[in-house]
Amino acid sequence: MRVAGTLLLMAGAGRRQKRQRGSIEELPSGSLRVTVYAGIDPVTKRRHYLREVIPPGPSTRKEADKALRRLAGLVDERRNPRTNATVDQLLDRHFELVGLERSTLATYVGYADKHIRPLIGGVQVGALDADLFDSFYAELRRCREHCDRRPYVEHRTKRPHECDARRRPHSCTSLGASTIRQIHFILSGALKRAVRWRWIATNPIVEAEPPPAPKPSPRPPTAQEAAQILAEAWKDPDWGLLVWVAMVTGLRRGELCGIRWRHVDLTGGVLALERSIGQRSAETWEKDTKTHQHRRIALDPQTVDLLREHRQRCAGRAEALGLEPAKDAFVFSLAPDGSTHLLPDSVSQRYGKLAKRLGIQTSIHKPRHYSATELIAAGVDVRTVAGRLGHGGGGTTTLRVYAAWVSESDQRAAAGLFSRMPARPANGARAEQTITEPRHPYEAVAAALRREMEAGSVTVGEQLPAIKNLAEAHGVSAATAQRAVSLLQTWGYVEVLPGRGVRVLYTDPIDTTDHLPDPASSSNGSPLGEHPRRQLFDLVIRHRGTVVARLTTELDRTNAAELREVMSAAVRRSGGDDADIGEYEMELREAGEDELVTTFVAPVSSCR
């Protein structure tokens, strides 16, 4: 009997089920609440549970069992949120540990207090998902004040005050795309820490879609505006020098305020940038540069002379007051001994007031853009510009911000190179091909008129019918007839006399090499030779006496059409309009020789 009892107990032990993890509790509404223990909350130090409520229905129990197994699996695989901490608690811990410069941290804290905490600060970190972030960004785009859509009057301050004209009804305006992106980066950095601390298993913000980065638009002052600003600033020599240095070097305002005389090498003409001045409200501090770079900027002789004069001026003021200049004096200072720096906010305000007096929309940061764009326009390579400005990434930021000016400079460089390339030889067989195989209506009309000239129907010196009559005779539009006449002029058969019509210059057939005569070389337009030899010429194209292009090419100097084609191409490449080709002249010299062979002046290029 004892043995049998023992066997029964053993059999019962074998049938005993393992204790189920978690619990399922029925609520008064009929729903089932699933609860699974998930350890100790690292934030609150309390027991942490995962919970899920299953709504009532025919399969409520079955769904609850599934939820229980799923939550238990998350705990076993350590993929569950380990805390009930909220976004507010996460941001508090994040800002305590993040290594940011003081002003940057203050900006991020301000964004969090203004936009993140009021909207999603109370949400548990484990409950964040893509849908919540999309709604969050949509609200930021709707209204930067996060109003409840009811009308109210805005006040500039919450302190007791008397309302004035600045009091106005609230109007919803979107938060800027760049600000929303900064908020996105704040949350992204905090949630990366949460993943590393194992508060959550995955970072939910990777599925969010912040607005795209806005295209940079530097908008530097024009050369004329820069001259106006400097002329006004030079009324105070110290202030004028600061604005001058800002435009020449492209320094940030904090860097300008942080320059000390030990940073300036007046002998070598070099400025060493090591420190900057930060400001937040009334608090100021000396700090590293924005990109933590110690850079050296070459100064031009005029700037060096201006700095020498400024140093003498500062020493004279200190001596007049019986003071000794500070051992580590600032270059720009209101103190007679240079012991204190300027306030960055004060520099911005003074520059803004100066620009307002002149009616110019700009800020103290724009001289930096002016310096960059002028350097790029002058052909300075992007890496050098990036080095002077203190941009990181080896020029990546410079290219992104100043892409338009780099593109413009590149186009000018390409045009300048092309203007120095040998001109393409004229296609000698094209005129003959147009006669036999015209591809366009205007070519067919030009070929028909040319055959009439060769047949003797029109003689040299006669005028062609008016454009309107030519169009009617050949059954084309006036524009097509106009193009046909222009083609005849290119071939050298006619010349256009402004206000007097079109005169025939040449009626003999041309050969397949397009060796046309120079109308200016003969009174009746006859050829000067049978087949003049082609030579290599150095060409100089002038516009009202100013050289606009130089090139070397092989051509026939007696071929008016070829000369005109080469000259027209050079005018276009130099940025001119070949419709005004009559204002240009082209000097021909044999290659390598100084003696002038001839000067070509093209006839007027269009009918009037």
- pLDDT, tens digit, 9 for 90 and up, residues 207-266: 888 888 877 777 888 888 888 999 999 999 999 999 999 998 888 899 999 999 999 999
Rounded Cα–Cα distance for residues 536 and 542 (Å): 19
Rounded Cα–Cα distance for residues 307 and 266 (Å): 8
Would you say residue 436 has pLDDT above 70? Answer: no
Tell whether pTM > 0.85: no
Q: DSSP H helical segments within 16-129, as ranges?
A: 60-76, 87-97, 102-111, 117-120
E strands, 374-517, are 494-497, 501-504
Rounded Cα–Cα distance for residues 268 and 264 (Å): 9
Tokens of 29: 């509404």
Measured CA distances, 530 to 122, 260, 377, 386, 429 (Å): 96, 79, 50, 61, 17
Would you say residue 526 has pLDDT above 70? Answer: no
Would you say residue 318 has pLDDT above 80? Answer: yes
Rounded Cα–Cα distance for residues 505 and 603 (Å): 12
Confidence of residue 185 (pLDDT cuts 50, 70, 90): very high
Q: Who wins on pLDDT, 550 or 363? A: 363
Looking at residue 284, what DSSP letter applies?
Answer: E
Q: Kind of pairing, strands 535-543 and 584-590?
A: antiparallel
Mean of the per-residue pLDDT values of the chain: 79
* Burial classification of residue 465, based on how many CB atoms lie within 10 Å of its CB (0-12 exposed, 13-18 middle, 19 or more buried): middle
Range 173-209 burial, b when 16+ CB lie within 10 A, else e: eebeeebbbbbbebbeebbeebeeeebbbebbbeebe
How many residues can be counted in the chain?
Answer: 608
Tokens of 490: 């290119």
Specify the pLDDT at position 412. Answer: 56
Rounded Cα–Cα distance for residues 445 and 487 (Å): 10
Note the pLDDT tens digit of each residue in 550-598.
877 777 787 887 888 888 878 877 777 767 787 888 888 887 788 888 8
Could you tell me if 502 and 494 are in contact, meaning their C-beta atoms sit under 8 angstroms apart? yes
Confidence of residue 432 (pLDDT cuts 50, 70, 90): low
Among the listed residues 43, 17, 15, 10, the one whose alpha carbon sits nearest the alpha carbon of residue 199: 43
Percent of the chain with pLDDT over 90: 18
Confidence of residue 1 (pLDDT cuts 50, 70, 90): very low
Would you say residue 113 has pLDDT above 90? Answer: yes
Rounded Cα–Cα distance for residues 348 and 429 (Å): 67
Note the pLDDT tens digit of each residue in 481-507.
888 888 887 777 788 776 678 888 766
Rounded Cα–Cα distance for residues 39 and 36 (Å): 10
Residue in this structure with the two tokens 């009918």, named with its chain if needed: 607
Measured CA distances, 484 to 129, 340, 468 (Å): 70, 77, 12
Within 10 angstroms of residue 23's Cβ, the number of other Cβ atoms is 12
Could you tell me if 323 and 337 are in contact, meaning their C-beta atoms sit under 8 angstroms apart? yes
- % helix, strand, coil for the chain, step of 5: 45, 15, 40
Q: Who wins on pLDDT, 459 or 129? A: 129
Rounded Cα–Cα distance for residues 524 and 529 (Å): 14
Among the listed residues 540, 528, 516, 532, the one whose alpha carbon sits nearest the alpha carbon of residue 588: 540
Rounded Cα–Cα distance for residues 506 and 177 (Å): 68
Among the listed residues 176, 88, 73, the one whose alpha carbon sits nearest the alpha carbon of residue 125: 88
Tokens of 400: 């992104």
Could you tell me if 126 and 83 are in contact, meaning their C-beta atoms sit under 8 angstroms apart? yes
Specify the pLDDT at position 16. Answer: 46
Q: DSSP H helical segments within 378-402, as ranges?
A: 382-389, 396-401
Rounded Cα–Cα distance for residues 490 and 430 (Å): 12
Strand partners, 168: 154
Q: Which long-range contacts (CB under 8 A, 24 or more apart) does 300-308 make?
A: 300/248, 300/269, 301/269, 303/244, 303/245, 303/248, 304/266, 304/269, 306/241, 306/244, 307/241, 307/264, 307/266, 307/331, 308/266
Task: Find the radius of gyration of the CA atoms of the chain.
Answer: 41
Could you tell me if 382 and 399 are in contact, meaning their C-beta atoms sit under 8 angstroms apart? yes
